[in-house]
Amino acid sequence: MSQASQPIGLFDSGIGGLSVAYAILRQLPSESILYFGDTARIPYGAKPADTIRQYSEDITRFLLAGGSKLIVVACNTASAAALNHLRHLWPDVPIVGMEPAVKPGALATRTGKVGVLATAGTFKSQRYASLMHRFAKDVELLENPCIGLVELIEAGKLNEPETEQLLRQAIGPMQSAGADTFVLGCTHYPFVQGLIEKIAGPGAAIINPAPAVARQVERLLRERGLLNEGTQPRHRFCISGKDEGGHFRKVAAALLGFEPELEENVLA
Ligand code: DGL
């Protein structure tokens, strides 16, 4: 198999990174995906950074053993905790990370107030502090860790009253404080973007960084001569837990437009 026809490896704590896989497949429909969702150990958001670093290292090893030509850390929390570490361990592998879109948020706001929805782990990180320092000097960031939202999304509750209530509690105070722009700083949150749009109202800007990450993946693959041309794509989806209730399959199929074959209890 030529290196170009090998998959793009992505990982997240669970289903969230599929929002990034979706953007990549839209941008690069000929590419194959090797996806790993660490559903046995989700959520990552409240765990110590060194624990997440170790998980990320083990998962990256797995993705590379599966032939990945490029790694996407499709999780803001894991990127904040482990991106530098992974790049240090594998200096020759292109590794793309996620970060809350603070810069685009600061450029988009007209009120000077940007709501950031991300996990506690992301907010506590050095990476986030550096984003604030570099791009948010002239705007106010209003933060909310949306505790419990990741679990609701994993349970397939994308449009339930309890999900809407949690989001209203997070977004309402930001709106009252004048926020007109909302940054989706966790890869799970695009799954409830419809609800967020409904709550935030038609004048608000909602920023999902996944399409920009997909363009970055394309740039890197092109630069290194690794874009797949011709070979039929073959995807693999793995999770470390069991797909209780079939939510992973259901949500993935609705998003991707095909029923993924799922390998369960991987790396468990
Ligand atoms: N999807 C992840 C992120 O982007 C984290 C979710 C979790 O807490 O596990 O931050």
Examine the pLDDT at 1 and tell me if it is beyond 80: no
In this structure, the answer to whether residues 87 and 124 fall within a common structural domain is no
Kindly report, residue by residue over 11-64, the tens digit of the pLDDT. Answer: 999 999 999 999 999 999 999 999 999 999 999 999 999 999 999 999 999 999
In this structure, the answer to whether residues 221 and 249 fall within a common structural domain is yes
Q: Is residue 268 part of a domain?
A: no
Q: Is residue 23 part of a domain?
A: yes
Is 44 a pocket residue for ligand 1 (Cβ < 6 Å)? yes
Kindly report, residue by residue over 163-180, the tens digit of the pLDDT. Answer: 999 999 999 999 999 999
Measure Cα distances from 264 to 54, 128, 215, 246 in Å: 21, 33, 30, 11
In this structure, the answer to whether residues 137 and 52 fall within a common structural domain is no
Our count of domains for the chain comes to: 2
In this structure, the answer to whether residues 117 and 75 fall within a common structural domain is no
CA-CA-CA-CA torsion sign (221, 224, 228, 234):
negative
Examine the pLDDT at 94 and tell me if it is beyond 90: yes
In this structure, the answer to whether residues 23 and 87 fall within a common structural domain is yes
H or E segment at 72?
strand 70-73
In this structure, the answer to whether residues 91 and 222 fall within a common structural domain is yes
Residue 54 belongs to a domain with what CATH number? 3.40.50.1860
Q: Is residue 146 part of a domain?
A: yes
Kindly report, residue by residue over 178-227, the tens digit of the pLDDT. Answer: 999 999 999 999 999 999 999 999 999 999 999 999 999 999 999 999 99
Is 185 a pocket residue for ligand 1 (Cβ < 6 Å)? no
pLDDT of residue 89: 98
In this structure, the answer to whether residues 244 and 174 fall within a common structural domain is no
Measure Cα distances from 34 to 53, 60, 190, 239, 254 in Å: 20, 11, 20, 11, 18
In this structure, the answer to whether residues 76 and 131 fall within a common structural domain is no
In this structure, the answer to whether residues 13 and 85 fall within a common structural domain is yes
Q: Which two tokens mark 11?
A: 């990982």
pLDDT range class, residue 141, cuts 50, 70, 90? very high
pTM of the model: 0.97
Q: Is residue 1 part of a domain?
A: no
Identify the domain boundary among 207, 222, 251.
Answer: 207
In this structure, the answer to whether residues 128 and 163 fall within a common structural domain is yes
Q: Which two tokens mark 168?
A: 């209203």
Q: Is residue 12 part of a domain?
A: yes
Please compute the mean of the pLDDT values over residues 113-140 and round it to a whole number. Answer: 97
- Domain interval for residue 155: 102-207
In this structure, the answer to whether residues 215 and 93 fall within a common structural domain is yes
Measure Cα distances from 179 to 77, 100, 192, 224 in Å: 23, 16, 19, 41
Q: Is residue 2 part of a domain?
A: no
- Active site positions, annotated: 75, 186
pLDDT of residue 161: 98
User: What distance in angstroms lies between residue 191's CA and the mean position of ligand 1's atoms?
Assistant: 12
> Are β-strands 8-12 and 70-73 bridged in parallel, bridged antiparallel, or unpaired?
parallel
pLDDT range class, residue 229, cuts 50, 70, 90? confident
Question: Residue 71 pairs with which residues in a beta bridge?
Answer: 9, 95
pLDDT of residue 60: 98
Is 6 a pocket residue for ligand 1 (Cβ < 6 Å)? no
* Closest CA to ligand 1's atom 8: 45
In this structure, the answer to whether residues 78 and 117 fall within a common structural domain is no
Q: Is residue 126 part of a domain?
A: yes
